[in-house]
């Protein structure tokens, strides 16, 4: 695995970008939930 990533560094970038995207998505998802809670409370 390590050797593979060492020779194909493009995949390292891919994983980094995917992790960022997953983070952003999770954040948006939780924000959606919080807003829904607030709307229900009103």
Partner 1 sequence: MNNIFKYSVFVIISLVIITGIVLPIPNIPALGDKARVLYFHVPMSWISVVAFVMSLWYAVRYLKTKEITYDIKSFSAAQLGFLFCVLATATGSLWAKFNWGSFWNWDPRQTSIFILLLIYGAYFALRSAIDAEEQRARLSSVYAIIAGITMPFFIFIMPRLVETLHPDPIINNSGKINMDTTMLIIFLTSLLGFTLLFLWVMNLKVRLELLKYRKSLKQA
Work out which of 1, 3, 18, 23 binds partner 1, going by CB under 8 A. Answer: 18
Residue 39 binds partner 1 (CB under 8 A): yes
List the structure tokens of 35. Answer: 């807003």
5 DSSP 8-state letter: H
Q: CB–CB of 12/5 below 8 Å?
A: yes
Check residue 5 for interaction with partner 1 (CB under 8 A). Answer: no
**16 and 9 Cβ atoms separated by less than 8 Å:** no
Per rule CB under 8 A, is residue 27 in the interface with partner 1?
A: no
* Chain residues in the site for partner 1 (CB under 8 A): 10-11, 13-14, 17-18, 21, 25, 28-29, 31-32, 35, 38-39, 42
């Amino acid at each position: 695995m390590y050797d593979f990533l060492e020779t194909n560094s493009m995949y390292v970038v891919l994983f980094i970008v995917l992790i960022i995207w997953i983070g952003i998505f999770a954040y948006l998802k939780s924000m959606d939930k919080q807003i829904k809670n607030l709307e229900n409370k009103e």
